[in-house]
Amino acid sequence: MLEKDNQMNESSESLSAPPPAYSTLPESDLALTTSDAKRVATEATSSTSSLSLEDTQTNGFAHTRVLDISSKGHGMWHFPTPPTELETPITDEEGRIQYVSTKLTRRKGNATLSSPKRGVLAETKYRFGPGKDPEVRLLNIAGVGAAESSDVQGGSSNEELGGIKLKGKLGTRARTFDMPDGKSFRWSYVRTRYCEKNSKGKEKENRYWLLVLEYVEKIYVGVGKKKEEMSSRRIAQLVRNKETMTQGTRKSTAGNGGRLMMTELVGEGEKAVIDEALVIATCLVMMKREVDRLRMQQIAAIAGGASGGG
């Protein structure tokens, strides 16, 4: 009986005893935790907005090098005369000149591409009018895209190999060119869009043409009678939206400059399949073709107006 009463007393004391003390954070630590939460939320928001801006400028293209091509091009309401610019500078992101494209005369499209470090790298033969394929001749470039010595008697000099022609089909603006080592590439236009905010802070969707360079490979599939399929990888693109186009130009301007983005497949690295100078030279050819296309449309409109008025 006494033992039972002792057990009851012990249980009542344990029930009346205060709960055990738990470790608590000081107020300063709680304040720090709150500020950290706010900081994390702010960083998350800012990183999202910067990513959106980056996507706007790159269109989701994973590039490793960026160059800015500065060219005024040819405006919609300009008279259809040859462009006045004789030099087209190509700079890096810090504004340092990496290449310069130089025309000897205004009326001819022939040009040279030079580098302050490597001298003259390419010569371009370009004639105004349809049915005349532009031609790029590489100089002082060895390795990427050059043919093996066994392919050409006496060595693999680019001058001996002749020019690289940009060919295309009627009714399309796309142009392809083949390297002496058999690699094929294609410049084409892709319609894309991006969102920007107007003066009132509302988002507005804009569309523009993206000039894209693809590395085209032939793949043989199947057993026995093999079927040939084409596989392409984007290795460069010229972006000309509101943020990247040459200052003073518009979306309707033909041949205006922009931001040229390239992957690791361009250059002199181990994974490179084409020299950077050739990418730039052929890109400039595509820009010249844009100018000539607009000029021919303007000439046709003027001729049509003159004949209609007679």
Q: Residue 60: is its pLDDT beyond 80?
A: no
Summarised one tens digit per residue, pLDDT across range 90-146 is 999 999 999 999 998 888 889 999 999 999 999 999 987 777 899 999 987 655 554
Contact assessment for residue 84 and residue 106, using Cβ atoms and an 8 Å cutoff: yes
Helix (H) or strand (E) holding 216: strand 203-221
Question: Could you tell me which residue, 308 or 19, shows the higher pLDDT?
Answer: 308
pLDDT of residue 53: 38
> Token pair of 201, please?
């802070």
Please say whether the beta carbons of 217 and 232 come within 8 A. Answer: yes
Confidence of residue 82 (pLDDT cuts 50, 70, 90): confident
> Which of these, 33, 92, 278, lies nearest to 177 by C-alpha position?
278
Q: What are the boundaries of each domain within the chain?
A: 64-303
Q: Which residue has the higher pLDDT, 34 or 224?
A: 224
Of the ranges 8-22, 28-42, 119-133, which one carries the lowest mean pLDDT score? Answer: 28-42
Residues in the chain: 310
Query: What's the token pair of residue 307?
Result: 């004949």
**DSSP-derived 3-state class of residue 241:** coil
The two structure tokens encoding residue 294: 């607009």
CA distance 63 to 275: 15
> For the stretch 256-288, what's the b/e string if a residue is b when 16 or more beta carbons lie within 10 angstroms of its beta carbon?
bbbbbbbbebbbeeeebbbbbbbbbbbbbbbbb
- pLDDT band at 224, cuts 50/70/90? low
For 248: left if phi > 0, alpha if psi spans -120 to 50, otherwise beta; the answer is left
pLDDT at 153: 30
The model's pTM: 0.73
Whether 27 shows a pLDDT value over 60: the answer reads no
Please provide the DSSP assignment of 47-93 as one string.
Answer: HHHHHHHHHHHHTT---SEEEEE----B-TTS-SSPPS--EEEEE-T
**Are the CB atoms for 235 and 305 separated by under 8 Å?**
no
Which range is least confidently modeled, 48-62, 84-98, 169-183, 215-229?
48-62
pLDDT band at residue 225, thresholds of 50, 70 and 90? low
Helix-, strand-, coil-residue percentages of the chain, each rounded to 5: 25, 30, 40
54 HSE (CA, 13 A, CB side): 10
